[in-house]
Amino acid sequence: MSTTLDSIRALMIDADGVLWHGSKPLPGVPAFFDFLRARQIRFLVATNNSVPPASEIVSRLARMGATIDESTVLTSAQATARYLPRLAAPGARVYVIGGAGLTQELTRAGYRLVEENAEVVIVGLDTRLTYAQLSRATREIRRGAQFVGTNADKTYPAEDGIIPGAGSLLAALQAATDTAPIVIGKPERAMFDIAIEAMGAPRAQTAILGDRLETDVEGARRAGLRSILVLTGVTTRDRLAQSALQPDWVFENLDALRGEWARGY
């Protein structure tokens, strides 16, 4: 298998830490999407963040000068809704901790959002989380509801530093219920398989572009994909140097990646 960037014909692109950092856009985003289109490289913005609807990601990129459509977005909320029929048929009762993106996708998929007697508890990032919600989720899971997490990211790169992510909420509930969640987002195979199917891309020609070793790079390894790491998010050079888990390529930012890719790196 070729080890050059020219061998990559499809790309899963993480959002937080790659396209933006908190509410701050990162450099080089419009030019990078233009480059992918010019090279006819298929792409999907595949984010573990379950809070924003796909339409919000499209609008946010548009404000940055990058035009994409909703068919090229896959959030962990969307992936969870697509995976959920394997666990519970549409119409099942679901208790949700999460943002608008998650509740919209589950409702669109035909699930009933309830406050008690749930068949499934689904947990994503919720920046307005209350102790009462954690208590309710704990009771539902202990009563027998299946426990599903949109993603297991322990942290989230905000503008003013690293803050708790959905994985921190899953950890709290796992401690309270003695039950491990079924996780859909990266690095689990479910989200990668859904993304590859959506792009119609061979695994040998597909890479993940992200900022996290434990989700993007580890997920690529599990799914048999190449991995490209940019140092604009969670992973620093010091952390990378100390890790046994290494990506196929490392770049400071999108501009550096685009420049090397254009030169046939």
Q: Which two tokens stand for residue 90?
A: 């549409």
Query: Which residue shows structure tokens 């595949």?
Result: 46
Asked if 6 is an active-site residue, the reply is: no
Of the listed 14, 126, 153, 216, which one is catalytic?
14
Of the listed 16, 153, 211, 216, which one is catalytic?
16
* Residues shown for the chain: 265
- Which element (helix H / strand E) includes 95? strand 93-97
Q: Do domains 5-48+186-262 and 88-183 have the same CATH topology?
A: yes
Asked if 216 is an active-site residue, the reply is: no
- CATH class of the domain defined by 88-183: alpha beta
Query: Which residue shows structure tokens 């503008």?
Result: 159
Domain formed by 5-48+186-262, architecture: 3-Layer(aba) Sandwich (3.40)
For residue 43, the 8-state DSSP code is E
Torsion of CA 225, 228, 231, 234, to 10 degrees: -10
For residue 152, the 8-state DSSP code is -
Cα–Cα distance for residue pair 226/136, rounded to 1 Å: 41
Per-residue pLDDT of the chain (265 residues; tens, 9 = 90+): 347 899 999 999 999 999 998 888 999 999 999 999 999 999 999 999 899 899 999 999 999 999 999 999 999 999 999 999 999 999 999 999 999 999 999 999 999 999 999 999 999 999 999 999 999 999 999 999 999 999 998 988 777 888 899 999 999 999 999 999 999 999 999 999 999 999 998 999 999 999 999 999 999 999 999 999 999 998 999 999 999 999 999 999 999 999 999 987 6
Cα–Cα distance for residue pair 261/264, rounded to 1 Å: 5
- Every domain of the chain and the residues it spans: 5-48+186-262, 88-183
Quick check: 225 and 209 in contact, CB under 8 A? Answer: no
